[in-house]
Amino acid sequence: MENFHTILDNPEKDERLKLIAEEIKKCRKCALWETKMNYVPGEGSGYSGIVFVGEAPGREEDIQGRPFVGNAGKLLTELIEEKLGLHRSQVFITNVLKCRPPNNRDPLPEEIEACKPYLLKQLEILKPSTIVCLGRHSASLLFDHFGLNFLGITRVRGRPFEVAVEWGKVRLIAVYHPAAALYRPQLKEVLEKDFSKLGEFVMVKENKENKKSRGIRTKNKTLKDFFSEL
């Protein structure tokens, strides 16, 4: 995987994201700091307006201090590139938990509670137009936070839910977790379809950065058009 962490979105945002990452790297709010190898704050940029939120770092992420760099990460990166026509540095990728739970066990409620302010702060800085929840833990937390009824990942996946936030409107979409899709071909098919639906209409923001980014698939529709047509 290319070692290409970020492209500049907005220097002020990038600086604030860096400060949060520094804060995360000193965190001792739950016991996970003792067993983790590295903190995994997240990486990428606000360039596309899309933020992906997974569950928690796994083994490879813990070793490298970067989100989604193991097998599930390879699948996520492929989906971002092939279905959305974006490089992973053009989206922001993070997790509900910034430290790996031992043996990849499920996050505990108190760990989620302790870590939640970091994710919310990242979202407030990035001000995304779209948040993609990867799997049930992320979806359950963010649906709850934004006042939506979480009926289970199977019931809500693939459908955008629009919520009003301080910085405008956000579309929240839950999809199956890429790790689950690795072991169940039927889930992988559904995950690919959900990404395709989104990707057909993704248009990278018309701004100066766009000119620098070669090979990005652009169409005449924006994400906003996509959701308003559903």
How many chain residues touch ligand URA (CB under 6 A)? 13
For the bound state, the minimum distance from the C-beta of residue 122 to ligand URA, rounded and expressed in Å, comes to 14
The DSSP code for 100 is: P
| Residue 57 touching ligand URA (CB under 6 A) | yes
The nearer residue to ligand URA, 89 or 95, going by C-beta atoms, is 95
Task: Work out which of 44, 67, 128, 199 binds ligand URA, going by CB under 6 A.
Answer: 67
Stretch that binds ligand URA, among 50-58, 140-148, 182-190, 218-226 (CB under 6 A): 50-58
Task: Answer whether 59's CB lies under 8 Å from 100's CB.
Answer: yes
Which residues, 6+ apart, have CB-to-CB distance to 22 below 8 Å?
Answer: none
Task: Work out which of 48, 89, 95, 122 binds ligand URA, going by CB under 6 A.
Answer: 95
Amino acid making up residue 192: E
| Residue 227 touching ligand URA (CB under 6 A) | no
Which residues face 130 on adjacent strands?
A: 50, 171
| Residue 43 touching ligand URA (CB under 6 A) | no
At 119, which helix (H) or strand (E)?
A: helix 109-126
- Six token digits for residue 3: 């070692």
For the bound state, the minimum distance from the C-beta of residue 117 to ligand URA, rounded and expressed in Å, comes to 19
50 closest CA partner among 182, 175, 220, 186: 175
CA distance 138 to 44: 18
| Residue 61 touching ligand URA (CB under 6 A) | yes
Mask 165-184, x = binds ligand URA (CB under 6 A)? Answer: --------------x-----
| Residue 111 touching ligand URA (CB under 6 A) | no
Stretch that binds ligand URA, among 11-19, 55-63, 83-91, 158-166 (CB under 6 A): 55-63
DSSP string, 3-44: ------S-HHHHHHHHHHHHHHTT--SSTHHHH-SS----EE
- Six token digits for residue 213: 């980014």
The DSSP code for 180 is: H
Stretch that binds ligand URA, among 49-57, 123-131, 149-157, 193-201 (CB under 6 A): 49-57
For the bound state, the minimum distance from the C-beta of residue 20 to ligand URA, rounded and expressed in Å, comes to 17
Three-state DSSP state, 93: strand
**Residues binding ligand URA (CB under 6 A):** 54-58, 61, 67-68, 70, 72-73, 95, 179
